Chain A
């Protein structure tokens, strides 16, 4: 993204746009590194920041790749996310250099100096930092939402006839808004029906991106042979979300709901010669 001057760069990298700041990143007793905002005893040599590989690549080339998403083990009651870790030197009170380099202008103790230097990447326990919910974390909540189970309706109502295509549609809402609390963050999720899979009951599945419509605007129809069938609708939901009314982002995945079944009979009409004057 274009930047007009140094101030723009500074705000972008230190304003929290993509990086999660930490006072310390230390190895934990279980071998997993832990980021926190409380410092270890002794003088602090560095300040720290973390960003996901996707965030860094997006900042660099404007897109992410599947390789940027790395799963981390689920640890009960902990937030563990794959991060790239960087650190920056801090000026020392006794004037000693950090990693062999002194501050450029003898800055006050604690003043950051020099470039951000890579310090590895991996699954980091960031529970103490209470970071905003990650897309993956939102997706886990998304999968648990009580999303609507859309009902398939058909025309003609009741019994159908062989040779007269049955029309499928649903009038249930295609969007639904939920507000959930994730670790103190207000996350608003707008769920949207992305695709509709109509199970006709004779082994055929019809897929559409619209909810169908009743006659005469029908878009989803199916021809049956005579018999009794049970049809239903599976809806695939995607969504977008905001954290604390911030910028919307896509929920990284979809989930499905199955609507209630509808049973109907398709009759074979037979021609019968009748006397209209009888």
Chain B
């Protein structure tokens, strides 16, 4: 061993003694093995929809079942939005959907005029298996809407602004898959 090697060995020995001395005073040896860790964390999806009515996980699958769940969720979201008049969540789930824009535009106008909507509950009655073709899906469904009144800030029904309910067995939607957010988007909503 050279002189330099002897000095390095002595320094290592001293450091080892010092470390052992530090450990021996307070620390107790662990009696259990550490939990194994996985190499990748499970991805978490950003929540969509209102906090009290979030989009269910099954609606965020790029499958026929996912397209069906999304359509049902969107219609229920519209039904709730008629009461809250907060269209931001519907808007975040629509793109280029003229019918959706027309419904939201009315609700935005009602807010601006201090009006509110009474009734209009909307429900999907029946739906066939959606046809998914890559990033698009088309969905055939039947949807009912209850009668709707528009009321003023005093709660009085505004003349000429009561609307009959409707059964719409010939309704359909075209959805587009948004891979960035892992959700379907309402592209076209046909009521008939």
In the assembled complex, B126 has its CB within 8 A of some CB on chain A: yes
Interface residues of A in 90-134 (CB under 8 A from B): 99-105, 107, 111-117
Q: How large is the interface on B (under 10, 10 to 19, 20 to 34, 35 or more residues)?
A: 35 or more
CB distance from B48 to the nearest CB of A (A): 22
Cross-chain contact of B174 among A3, A89, A113, A115 (Cβ < 8 A): A115
Q: Is the CB of A107 within 8 A of B105?
A: no
Tell me, in angstroms, the Cα distance from A103 to B140 when the chains sit together: 7
Interface residues of B in 152-192 (CB under 8 A from A): 161, 163-166, 168-170, 172-174, 188-192
Most chain B CB atoms below 10 A, which of A7, A13, A60: A7
Name the CB-closest residue of B to A113.
B140
Cross-chain contact of B161 among A4, A102, A105, A117 (Cβ < 8 A): A4
Proximity string of chain B (58-85) to chain A, C-beta cutoff 8 Å, 1 when within and 0 when not: 0000000000000000000000000000
Cross-chain contact of A3 among B106, B128, B129, B138 (Cβ < 8 A): B106
Q: How large is the interface on A (under 10, 10 to 19, 20 to 34, 35 or more residues)?
A: 20 to 34
Known contacts A7-B163, A115-B138; decide if A2 and B169 are in contact (CB<8 Å). Answer: no
Tell me, in angstroms, the Cα distance from A243 to B143 when the chains sit together: 36
Which chain A residues lie closer than 8 Å to B128 at the CB level?
101-104, 113-114
Q: Is the CB of B139 within 8 A of A114?
A: yes
Tell me, in angstroms, the Cα distance from A102 to B129 when the chains sit together: 8
Which chain A residues lie closer than 8 Å to B96 at the CB level?
60
Cross-chain contact of B191 among A4, A10, A89, A117 (Cβ < 8 A): A10
Q: Is the CB of B166 within 8 A of A107?
A: no
CB distance from A130 to the nearest CB of B (A): 24
Tell me, in angstroms, the Cα distance from A163 to B114 when the chains sit together: 67
Most chain B CB atoms below 10 A, which of A7, A14, A60, A115: A115
Which chain A residues lie closer than 8 Å to B142 at the CB level?
104-105
Tell me, in angstroms, the Cα distance from A2 to B117 when the chains sit together: 14
CB distance from A154 to the nearest CB of B (A): 56
Tell me, in angstroms, the Cα distance from A12 to B102 when the chains sit together: 11
Tell me, in angstroms, the Cα distance from A107 to B150 when the chains sit together: 33
Proximity string of chain B (126-146) to chain A, C-beta cutoff 8 Å, 1 when within and 0 when not: 111111000000111111010
Which chain B residues lie closer than 8 Å to A111 at the CB level?
169-170
In the assembled complex, A145 has its CB within 8 A of some CB on chain B: no
Tell me, in angstroms, the Cα distance from A114 to B191 when the chains sit together: 9
CB distance from A85 to the nearest CB of B (A): 15
In the assembled complex, B94 has its CB within 8 A of some CB on chain A: no
Which chain A residues lie closer than 8 Å to B139 at the CB level?
114-115
Q: List 11 A-B contacts (CB under 8 A).
A: A3-B103, A4-B117, A7-B163, A8-B163, A13-B190, A100-B131, A101-B129, A104-B141, A112-B170, A114-B138, A114-B170
Closest CB pairs A-B (n = 4): A115-B172, A114-B140, A2-B106, A105-B126
Apart from A6-B191, A104-B126, what 17 extra A-B contacts exist at CB < 8 Å? A1-B102, A4-B161, A6-B143, A6-B145, A7-B163, A10-B192, A60-B98, A88-B192, A101-B128, A104-B141, A105-B126, A113-B128, A113-B140, A114-B139, A114-B172, A115-B140, A116-B172
